[in-house]
Structure 1
Amino acid sequence: MSVLDYLFPTDPLNLKQNKKERSGNGQLTIWRYFPNNRREILVEISFHFLIRELTMLQKFQNVRQPLIANHSSCPVNQKRSLKMLKAFLLTLILGTGLVSQNFLLPIPAYSQSEEIYPEGDQEYFKALLGLEKDEEYKKFLMDSVSYASGKKVEYVDYKGVRPTVDGEEGEPGGPGMDAGHVKQQTYEAMRNMDWFRKNNYQNFIRNVGHNIYPLIIASDYEPGKEGVGSTYYLYRRDRPVESVTPTSVMYEMEKILAHIPMGVFIVISPYFDNVANRPEGWEEPLIEYKKHVENIKEHLGKSDIGQATSMRAMKMLDMVNHYLQDCIESGSGDEQSYRAFAHTIIPYVAEAMKAAVELQIQAGLSAMSQWKKELGPKEWDKLHVLIPVVWPVAEGSPRRQIFEHLMTPERAKTNIFEVHTGSHDEARTTLGRIKGDSVMAGLTFDKNTRFGMGSYLRLSSPTDLVQGATKEELKKHPKTQENILPLKTPHSD
């Protein structure tokens, strides 16, 4: 049995297999956590000297000679060997103690990994930390949460946020009240304090968001302008709001042609599984859609939209007309017939989509390039972009890609946000929450600790602050019927 086999019979650190490699670089990195100071400390244990001494000791064991006997002819060598032996024993004791401590003591979940980022958009986290080096941008963010410099600040009393607590209007208890009543009063007092916080927080994020300039809101959902290829709004401090809808009517026409299969599907699909027993009047939506098709065909030949587009549109409209006519006359229209129709028309749909994208990108890129020129490099670098979206089309929109093309990769990652809001006021308030929370988290948490860094990144991103803690807690409750906790009321202990 070798010395390594004796000291590490289970080889937990893979010393025997990697003895040569470890003796070369001589380091093993282990994360440790000391509860007394609540700080994470990286302990680097150097194995270079340890492995060298273990190897020497193994050689002496094989030849059955004492360590000092090899140097008995020279007193100097004897002293040197004694020093080396003492150093070896000290290193062995220290190393074994630290390794044992590492295996025996519990380590909190957030300090087990060398990865500093929590789960979420890793590229966004990296870009966010990159902003820490930009002093001018950090000053810009700090200014955004300040009410100084003559900023427009409004205070709204969000009375609807205030909680209603049972017994709030009751008489105050006397000195003889029981502990349960005191607990209820404590609960009421805490909720009132939290209402005060919520009220101020709503005003804080609204005022932050309404004082971030320059800002562009790129919307597809403005009333009366839905589906026209985006309307862009530019907000600048002390300047009127500018707006532009750069796409032409040709864009919208190509988009309408591309939506033809959807239009057919939504009027016929409710009857796919009820061909034999359809209710009276089921075909009326199909007849109305067919009238729209015929009306377009009547005008198409007289328009100046271009021969190629006109011919493609006419083919698509004829396909729709024939399919709808067949459904109406024969009472057909099931999954198979719709699939056959759709697969036939899709190549033309793809051409219409491509034409629409070309028109949208050319127009949008031109308009936003003009605004970029007007703002200048310094203001453009501060630009934030809000893109109102709905979930089915929340990612990869042409609006985002246009701004990603015009902005630096870092700013595109940290300054463009898809927001699920219905108005500009709500969108700007959401921006205030994004940036306000980030500034607050950066000052509140110690980013030199893993917990602090994780909290800062989570509060600065869509990732929930308690994501990691929630995951760890759920691990305590296996997915079995026996481990389902009993239902508790909101006011139960």
Structure 2
Amino acid sequence: MTLLGSARASGDPGPPAQQLRARNAIFAIDTDTRAHYDALRAELIRHLAPVIVVQNDYRGGRYTLVHNAEHESVHPVSDVFELAKSIAHAPLGIHSIIAPYLNPRIPDRPGSARRDPHDLAMVAFKDPGTTGWQAPLQSFADTLATARRQLGDAHLAPELAAASTRILDRSLAFVDACLRRRSVDTTSFESYTSRLTDDIGTNIQHAAQAQIEGVEALLTRWRERVGPADWPGLYVVVLSIWTTSALNQNSIIIRRFMDPATADSHLIDLPTAQPPTDPVFVALDNLARIVQDNVAAEAVFPADHTLANALKGPEDLMAQAILSRLACPHRGNTTTSTPR
């Protein structure tokens, strides 16, 4: 492979051939290392167990147990989770339609400092005087109205049904007012949503209870299946998009079932750009890297726990060196420069 000299300016002869051969010979070490590392990872994937993989989704999470060369996948959470969240999402659905048409200026009201003016300007990217929002908003109103008419047949718990009724009724009233006056604005939208805070909170509580009950029942069954000898070694990989990766609801529940001695290192929240097509493979592929790095770190750096911890954790191995040099840029004999 030739990694040097490919982007030389015209007339630049580049490094001498002997130097180029030497550098390519050195690069070959890393190329071979990565090939062997990948080969180990591919083999290790087949030996990982027990592992629970959780793919966050709109149904409360798809759980897969990997144990004794068998996979069992389950959606353990009842429909109440999705029903309660679905209705609570009505204001977000409306906002997603009208946001590009809102005034990009931040209203002068209490709490306005919490808003990022640049973010708002980027979202409000359409002319407020145009009416492209009307047809999709009317279509969404039809969806809300259909749900409202049939809400009683869903047999929700009384408290959840009452909160859901208010959310749908006030959402439909807001949409109707916007369509009648043929305009949307931030002030009226926030007046509508501020009256729904308690009702949305009620729906969230019912969704949370449904998730807790479903996940706890499944983990109780799986803990018995795996057995007390293997359960302490359990790894859990929770895949989610970045916006739900910190304090993820599934991770909170699962942690209570794990061995306290290993939960911090064996419960892995793995943010993904998009939900993967094959979440189990993605989880096991990443877990294989983690497990083999855990073993390699102590063998490669037996006398330096700082470097070992960096290799076996989410910290980049070079992070401390970079931080050190940024704090003291003139150390050593390398040429330094300041950012421009």
SS, match of residue 385 in structure 1:
strand
Out of 448, 455, 458, the position equivalent to 2:310 is 458
Out of 202, 217, 226, the position equivalent to 1:375 is 226
Tell me the equivalent position of 1:262.
92
Aligned partners of 1:206 and 1:428 also within 8 Å: no
Query: For 2:327 and 2:158, how far apart are their aligned partners in 1?
Result: 64
Query: For 1:386 and 1:438, how far apart are their aligned partners in 2?
Result: 16
**Would you say 1:181 and 2:14 are equivalent positions?**
no
Structure 2 CA distance for partners of 1:312 and 1:166, relative to 1, 3 Å: same
SS, match of residue 281 in structure 2:
helix
Tell me the equivalent position of 2:289.
433
Q: Which runs of 5+ in 2 are unaligned?
A: 7-13, 105-125, 331-335
Tell me the equivalent position of 1:201.
37
**CA RMSD of superposed structures (Å):** 2.4
Structure 2 CA distance for partners of 1:165 and 1:320, relative to 1, 3 Å: same
Query: For 2:246 and 2:127, how far apart are their aligned partners in 1?
Result: 41
Tell me the equivalent position of 2:9.
none
**Would you say 1:354 and 2:184 are equivalent positions?**
no
TM-score, normalised to structure 2, is: 0.82
Query: For 2:152 and 2:242, how far apart are their aligned partners in 1?
Result: 38
SS, match of residue 377 in structure 1:
coil
Structure 2 CA distance for partners of 1:446 and 1:379, relative to 1, 3 Å: closer
SS, match of residue 232 in structure 1:
strand
Query: For 1:207 and 1:401, how far apart are their aligned partners in 2?
Result: 31
Structure 2 CA distance for partners of 1:287 and 1:180, relative to 1, 3 Å: same
Query: For 1:165 and 1:413, how far apart are their aligned partners in 2?
Result: 41
Code of the aligned partner of 1:197: T
SS, match of residue 333 in structure 1:
coil
Query: For 1:264 and 1:276, how far apart are their aligned partners in 2?
Result: 18
Q: How far is 1:197 from its partner?
A: 1.6
Query: For 2:176 and 2:321, how far apart are their aligned partners in 1?
Result: 60
Out of 62, 66, 76, the position equivalent to 1:231 is 62
String of CA shifts for 1:190-232, please: whole Å, max 9, x gaps: 2233222212212222322331111110111xxxxx3101111
Code of the aligned partner of 1:247: V
Query: For 1:164 and 1:348, how far apart are their aligned partners in 2?
Result: 63
**Would you say 1:407 and 2:263 are equivalent positions?**
no
Query: For 2:4 and 2:337, how far apart are their aligned partners in 1?
Result: 30
Query: For 1:180 and 1:195, how far apart are their aligned partners in 2?
Result: 22
- Number of residue pairs the alignment of both structures matches: 302
**Would you say 1:446 and 2:298 are equivalent positions?**
no
Aligned partners of 1:403 and 1:412 also within 8 Å: no
Aligned partners of 1:209 and 1:430 also within 8 Å: no
String of CA shifts for 1:219-270, please: whole Å, max 9, x gaps: 11xxxxx3101111111123x3111111111211011122222112111111
**Would you say 1:473 and 2:332 are equivalent positions?**
no
Tell me the equivalent position of 1:216.
52
Query: For 1:432 and 1:302, how far apart are their aligned partners in 2?
Result: 48
Q: How far is 1:319 from its partner?
A: 0.4
Query: For 1:279 and 1:197, how far apart are their aligned partners in 2?
Result: 59
Q: How far is 1:277 from its partner?
A: 4.7
Structure 2 CA distance for partners of 1:233 and 1:164, relative to 1, 3 Å: farther
Give aligned-pair identity as a percent.
Answer: 22
Of the two, which has the highest radius of gyration? 1
Q: How far is 1:306 from its partner?
A: 3.6
Aligned partners of 2:160 and 2:202 also within 8 Å: no
Tell me the equivalent position of 1:123.
none
TM-score, normalised to structure 1, is: 0.58
Q: How far is 1:167 from its partner?
A: 7.9
Query: For 1:352 and 1:280, how far apart are their aligned partners in 2?
Result: 32
Tell me the equivalent position of 1:121.
none
Query: For 1:419 and 1:189, how far apart are their aligned partners in 2?
Result: 36
